[in-house]
Amino acid sequence: MKKKVLFYNGSLRMGGIERVLVEVLQNLDRSKLDIDLVIEDGIRSLNVFEKDIPKDIKLYYLKPEEIIKKTDFYRQNRKNIFYKIMYNLMMVYEGSIKKQNLKKIVKDKHYDVVIDFDMGLSKQIDLVDAKKKIAWIHANIKSWYVREDRIKRLGERLQKYTNIVAICEAMKESTIELFPFLKDKIIRIYNPFNFERIIENSKEKVDKNLKEYYEKDFIVSIMRLTEHQKDFDTLILGFKLAKEKGVKEKLYILGDGPDRDKIEEKIKKEGVEKEIILLGNVKNPYPWIKKAKILVHSSRFEGLPTVLLEGLILDKIVISSDCPTGPKEILENGEIGYLYNIGDYKKLSELIVENLENSDIDLDLIRERILKYSKDVVIKEYEKIL
């Protein structure tokens, strides 16, 4: 008899958590599992990974598109007091609709396991009848939640789960330090990576509208355009200094997000708008990683940054900020990649220049060290906990 499993996530948009979720769902042994997938964000046109969900998995959405768009309209105009009030009312209404729809979906269902993949179900976890409830942590909690009262509430909610999964050792230790009363529940399971598919996808042709950029020599950075988490100041200043030292390559930033306009302004302010190009969301980033001279990642905090491992899988020189958590663990304290302190744009520029001129990266060592992230290894850990 199949085990009945519920997966929950906020969206199926372009993002690291979403890519991992798809990888997991595609590789679990579904001959032994009957899976429901509940997604909060009902804007189907933006949920680009919906097409990649296996057809035998039942997919449900909690929030209708028209409600999400109306809330977002009020959010964008909330400097006006009326719109601010309407935004707050819509947020309450959204929460009510989410709860009602969840109740309908899980009514009379008895799950063996529920996996709250982004902890977005923590407020409503009691609504789901399951023998085992598991929460996945994808980012450093202290950096992500910031406020002490929010962190405290999260700790209280996490007590309702059977297990809490952290996606790297550093995250596991920081979570235990934050919530020592959860120590016996917290385990570590890495994100799974399909090496073969990443390598195969890297051979695809790029969009013809971007071909002129692709044909040039470049360094690549793949990040959501949000300043809360990503450190664009250091990236821009570090690359500008590298250009002043003679670097000919351009920097392409793949990704989009709410702070695009602010980031464009910073690039213009430093006078490097012809050298740092924001290419937006690119459906298949792997050909860009494969052709790039270097992959650079600049972040204030992370979970287990997917793009670093994708770079290593594609034999790239990887340079990353040494932020909590993930980069140091992935790059093994600088043995299979390069680390610089958050905000140290001078060191970043040095690493770019040095590695363009002469890199001593040992590709054989990298290929050996990253095998622990392969889907064949990691999916077994998923199935064991299920």
Read out DSSP for 298-353?
-BS--SS-HHHHHHHHTT-EEEEE--SSSHHHHTGGGTSSEEE-TT-HHHHHHHHH
Share of the chain above pLDDT 70, in %: 100
pLDDT for 88: 93
pLDDT for 316: 95
Class of domain 3-193+374-385: alpha beta
pLDDT in tens, 219-232: 999 998 999 889 99
* Confidence class for position 260, pLDDT limits 50, 70, 90: very high
Give the SS3 label for residue 67: helix
Q: Which helix (H) or strand (E) holds 263?
A: helix 260-269
pLDDT in tens, 339-373: 999 999 999 999 999 999 887 788 899 999 999 99
Q: Do domains 3-193+374-385 and 195-372 have the same CATH topology?
A: yes
Exposure string of 149-181, with b = 16+ CB inside 10 Å and e = fewer, is: eeeeebbebbeebebbbbbbebbbebbbebbee
For residues 106, 46, 205 and 371, what is the CA-based torsion angle, rounded to 10 degrees?
-40
Residue 57: Cβ-neighbour burial (10 angstroms; 0-12, 13-18, 19+): middle
User: Can you state the angle between helices 16-27 and 306-313, rounded to 10 degrees?
Assistant: 60
Whether the pLDDT of residue 13 is over 80: the answer is yes
CA distance 266 to 333: 31
- 232 near 266, Cβ under 8 Å? yes
CA distance 49 to 151: 30
Neighbours of 238 (CB within 10 A): 27
CA distance 126 to 106: 11
E strand spans, the chain: 3-9, 33-42, 58-64, 111-116, 130-137, 163-166, 186-188, 218-222, 250-254, 276-280, 294-297, 317-321, 338-340
- What is the chain's mean pLDDT, rounded? 93
Q: Locate the domains of the chain by residue range.
A: 3-193+374-385, 195-372
Instruction: Return the CATH number of 195-372, one of 3.90.1150.10, 3.40.50.2000, 3.40.50.300, 3.50.50.60.
Output: 3.40.50.2000
Enumerate the β-bridge partners of residue 137: 166
Beta strand 186-188 with 163-166 is parallel
Selection from 195, 279, 297 nearest residue 238 by Cα:
297
Q: What is the mean pLDDT of residues 64-73?
A: 91
pLDDT for 51: 92
Q: Which helix (H) or strand (E) holds 380?
A: helix 375-385
